[in-house]
Chains A and B, each alone.
Chain A
Amino acid sequence: QQQVKQSPQSLIVQKGGISIINCAYENTAFDYFPWYQQFPGKGPALLIAIRPDVSEKKEGRFTISFNKSAKQFSLHIMDSQPGDSATYFCAASIERGSARQLTFGSGTQLTVLP
């Protein structure tokens, strides 16, 4: 029930195309859904996040779509650029005792071809 399932495992997109990464969760107690971008040898960086009372959030070329009833959320990267090539992790967050627990998806390696 604590799992977050992420797909696809890898994604290759042409420059200018749309990259779409999907995630699904089971635990309805999760109350925050961040996406992290990670470049090789670097720590994850928060990209965009959404709360479950919102169906969509857009920041620049990045959009999260959230379907509460289906317990699914997705990241859309518009006009994908080679610099977007990285590993993307979705996550679901819940307050557990004295801290925030993050449950990560398995990651998607995105390659944007020039």
Chain B
Amino acid sequence: DAMVIQNPRYQVTQFGKPVTLSCSQTLNHNVMYWYQQKSSQAPKLLFHYYDKDFNNEADTPDNFQSRRPNTSFCFLDIRSPGLGDAAMYLCATSRVGGSRQRERYEQYFGPGTRLTVT
């Protein structure tokens, strides 16, 4: 089944130790998003890629970076995690310009990576 896959599902890192979360998709979608979701809150968009074009949200801290080496993969790098960065990180995909109406509008989420900072 076509899907959005995130690895690892659970990640524990130490305060200040860089960490990388990964996302892959088999949907062949041209847009990939990273969201941060803290407990009991709605997902908050950090940034997205349209193909190789990176688009950062204005309030995303510099501590968060992303890479998209190809259509299928996207990485979230947290350079120096703080305790406040503990959250669920969600990857999502969508297709801009798709011919199927439903596909043009929807975002498909992965299962998330739960990040703990000790």
Contacts and interface: CB of A to CB of B under 8 A. Distances in A.
Interface residues of B, number: 26
A110 B55 CA distance: 34
B75 interface: no
A74 to B, nearest CB: 17
A49 B111 contact: no
A99 B94 contact: yes
Contacts of A109: 40
Prevailing SS type, chain B contact patch: strand
Contacts of B88: 41, 43
Q: How large is the interface on A (under 10, 10 to 19, 20 to 34, 35 or more residues)?
A: 20 to 34
B106 A99 contact: no
Given A44-B90, A105-B42, A107-B40, A100 B110 contact: no
Contacts, number: 68
Contacts of B55: 97-99
Interface string A26-57: 00000110101000011111100101000000
A78 interface: no
Nearest to B113: A43
A46 B106 contact: yes
Interface of A: 31-32, 34, 36, 41-46, 49, 51, 89, 93, 95, 97-102, 104-107, 109
Interface of B: 4, 6, 31, 33, 40-43, 45, 48, 50, 53, 55, 88, 90, 94, 96, 105-112, 114
